[in-house]
Amino acid sequence: MSDIGPAIEAYLSRLWETPVVIRDLARIPGGASRETYRFDAFVDGERRRLILRREPASGLIDTESETEFRAYRSAAGVVPVPRAIALEKNGAELERPFFLMERIDDGVVVGPFDRAGFGDHAEALGEQFFAALGRLAAHDASASPLAAHLDAPAPDQCWRIALDYWEKVIDTDAFAPQPIVRAAIRRLRATPPPPAARIALVHGDYRSGNMMHDGAGRMLAMFDWEMAHFGDPLEDLGWALNPVWDHFQPGRACGMVSPERALAIWQASSGIVPDPTALDWWRLFNAVKGGAIWTSAFREFVTGGRTDPVLGLSGWYVQRRQDAVIAAMLSGAPTTPPARDEAQSDLGHILTGTGLTAAGAGMAASAHDAFGGATFTITGLLSLLAAEEAEKAAAWRLADIAAMRDLIGEAAPGEAEEMALPALDARWARLAEALIVHHDRIAATSGDESALLAFYRESAGRRELAWPG
């Protein structure tokens, strides 16, 4: 039993006023904002299958256990969710806030970057997935447990509250200037959407990686409600339509159905006919929101001692993929990542070997330690991605630096410049900050942005990494 085991037993024994024994306690992977444990509790001869979600000492996003607990209870009967059992806001025996919910066994949760996706069950699951989201949009949650905890915004303020929040996250957590994300924020503020047609309970992270299914085409549950709030239901729809979640199957929302079919299912279930300009706004907003989350992930990875590879993966690989999505939305044209060169340097060979070794160890370990196995596997994936980056790290920086100098009219220095990556990063950051100011001036005078939008698309394509496998 892990160190947390005796504390769980003590808590449950007090809660249920009878001795409780727990068995098969294990930390499980998934999510970067909570520690998640599975276990069986035996009380009065009865076995209870449970999940415990505890707040970490420091987290990726600013959420609280009470919000997630109340969201589960508010969504029950509308969207398939496990039953939330108990909440401890002050941590009790476990020292940090946590809640308990029932565990659903024998289900499948497909990782967000699993190329296989949902196979032959994609269409059937897509029908259920987007219909459930539509029901959530239609549901009157004004008297729900969450409504007693969180305020609902005015319909014309949903967009502003959401954008202000996530822009502040970027302001706080970004290590370097982000001209692509800033261009998107600039456009979002210049073209606000119409007021929300309805104020609804918003999941906040409604995507395929948070859905459990039975492996035979039936949706079992929707998890991870920690970002739940009240707002425009188009926010959830726009997040589910984010191409980052397409399982590398372009044109399939969350790897299930076409975006057009997803919208038709949602519309029939919700009774809402979304304004096309509003949906476009929320789709671009959600790409920015993703960028903010990945930015926070990278800061947490670095400041947290670089020990959680999930945060590193999110803040590096996913951030770059999200930049490509934003650049494509802004320009109306897809990014075109360069073909991967199979030739490798010595460093590339070392990183590839390290990655294959770690990933193999992770798959072997996962049979008896799901969390440890996942940690090794993700570490291996990071190493494989680093092998790709090693071959182009200087090239994309130099190409971006030259292009930004051209755009802002800065002459290249006559003397040779230092070529070490930290020096290149410093030059890139200085020019990116100048480019943001330059774009601000052009936008303020309704000038021609086409050269800037083309640069964003080309830059994102240069930096984007190919998922291993």
- Closest by CA to 370, choosing from 37, 60, 59, is 37
What are the C-alpha distances in Å from 71 to residues 79, 165, 461? 11, 20, 38
Using DSSP, state whether 41 is helix, strand or coil.
Answer: strand
- Measured between alpha carbons, how far is residue 49 from residues 40, 57, 66, 101, 350 in Å? 5, 26, 21, 9, 44
- Give the C-alpha separation, 463 to 454, whole Å: 14
| 388 vs 348: CA distance, rounded Å | 7
Single-letter amino acid code for the residue at 167 = E
pLDDT in tens, the chain (469 residues): 458 999 999 999 999 999 999 999 999 886 667 899 999 999 998 999 999 999 987 655 567 899 999 999 999 999 999 999 999 999 999 999 999 999 999 999 999 989 999 999 999 999 999 999 999 999 999 999 999 999 999 999 999 999 999 999 999 999 999 999 999 999 999 999 999 999 999 999 999 999 999 999 999 999 999 999 999 999 999 999 999 999 999 999 999 999 999 999 999 999 999 999 999 999 999 999 999 999 999 999 999 887 889 999 999 999 999 999 999 999 998 776 666 677 789 999 999 999 999 999 999 998 889 889 999 999 999 999 999 999 999 999 999 999 999 999 988 776 678 899 999 999 999 999 999 999 999 999 999 999 999 999 999 999 999 998 7
DSSP characters over 143-173: TSTTTTTSPPPPGGGHHHHHHHHHHHHHHHH
* Among the listed residues 278, 187, 292, 184, the one whose alpha carbon sits nearest the alpha carbon of residue 234: 278
Domain locations in the chain as residue ranges: 5-102
What's 120's DSSP letter? G
pTM for this model (two decimals): 0.94
Q: Which fold has domain 5-102?
A: Phosphorylase Kinase; domain 1 (3.30.200)
Pairing mode of beta strands 211-213, 219-222? antiparallel
